[in-house]
Amino acid sequence: MLVLIIGGTLGAFRNWFLAGLAGFVGGLLGGVLGYVQQIVSQGGIEFSGQVWSIIFLEFFGNNFAFLAIATILSGVLGPILTRQAVRRLLGGDGGSIALDDPRRFSEAVDKVALVRIPAANLDEAQLTHIDREPVDRDRAAEQWESYVELLEQYGWETREVAAAETMADSVFTEDQVVMIGEVAVLARSGSPERRAEQPGVRAALADSGLVVEEIEAPATLDGGDVLLVGDTVYVGSSSRTNGDGIAALRRIVGALGYRVVAVPVAGALHLKTVATALPDGTILAWTDGVPDLSLLGRVIAVPEAAGASVLPLDGETVLVSAAAPKTQQLVARLGYRVESLDVSEFEKLEGGVTCLSARVFG
């Protein structure tokens, strides 16, 4: 039982394999301890190698069924009970929020990224703060493939959202959903035209096992405005995310033990256009885009606007745009391995290395 409790605390029951392994180890140790207790209570028997052999051979004889049942039940029931626990913390099986409950839930999660192939009309994507430049769609497709390959190289499981050939901005999946631990928050974009992208993302989450919450009108929220650093969720107050959206996210993630800090954004599409975090929690920021840097805690100013949007690939490696060589040098001096990727066709559309995927936080 103790093994199962420890396994559950460490998040082992998130998937069937780890849950089954915890059940196997728990069943094995439980059986061994049971035999040891019997031998000790009888007295007069020494724990020789022969005695230990007899004990363990029992698991291939009379107790094999017990061990198999413990393994199978843990593997099957563990993930189910984990999901139910999260749903209870969020106020019920239907996923509605019970705002007056003091709830806390936090655990490590797998590295999962939702990606979506660029649309045929990518060059028609919306622009808010920069002038339009010609977009090479073939080159964009190559850059996207390189991006996905790099994620997979660093151990990310990429799940492809169904293509949306007529939705120019759909490649920027980060804006549609915020995933923190066991919860996926479906966003509601401040751009009405982008809300048509939502059904495809919802479908991609259908078999993910995540508890799904939604941002509802009149609230608006883009995932590109959400930056997780430790137990703090920074949310950009931008043209795409309004006060109601910030409040709605605060209610949801507050129930999971996170605090939300609203950060005004100036002259940029999203918060993560101008500020992202290194694996140690230090924030890299383009200072022109964040009027009040004191809200962000530990901040280092980057020398290039394109360098403000970086993506940690693991605890030691950071992806930096090829358009930000000085920021690459800065990150390397801070002790990180740097991966560089050309995403220039997406940068022409106010995109970057973070917004091309929606990732599980944790």
Q: Is 108 exposed, middle or buried (0-12, 13-18, 19+ CB in 10 A)?
A: exposed
Question: At CA 273, angle to CA 335 and CA 183, rounded to 5?
Answer: 85
For residue 353, the number of C-alpha atoms closer than 13 Å in the C-beta half-sphere is: 27
C-alpha pair distances (Å), 160 with each of 200, 214, 276, 308, 333: 10, 21, 24, 26, 35
355 is an active site residue: yes
Q: Is 164 a catalytic residue?
A: no
Beta pairing class for 232-237 and 259-264? parallel
Is 240 marked as a binding-site residue?
yes
State the catalytic residue, choosing from 116, 188, 270, 348. 270
The residue annotated as part of the active site, out of 211, 302, 305, 355, is: 355
159 appears as a binding residue in the annotation = no
| Amino acid (1-letter code) at residue 159 | R
What do you get for the CA distance between the two ends of the chain, in Å? 26
349 is in an annotated binding site: yes
State how far the Cα of 250 lies from the Cα of 256, in Å rounded to an integer: 10
110 is in an annotated binding site: no
Counting DSSP H helices and E strands in the chain, the numbers are: 10, 15
Q: Which amino acid is at 349?
A: L
Q: Cα torsion at 240, 244, 249, 251 (round to 10°)? A: 180
DSSP string for residues in 311-348: EESSSSEEEEETT-HHHHHHHHHTT-EEEEE--HHHHT
Look at strands 275-277 and 283-285 and give their pairing: antiparallel
Q: Which amino acid is at 130?
A: I
Residue 288 counted as an annotated binding residue: no
The secondary structure of 82-151 as a DSSP string is HHHHHHHHTTSTT----TTS----------EEEE-PPPTTGGG---SSS------HHHHHHHHHHHHHHH
Known binding-site residue numbers for substrate: 127, 169, 174-175, 194, 240, 349
Catalytically active residues are 270, 355
Known binding-site residue numbers: 127, 169, 174-175, 194, 240, 349
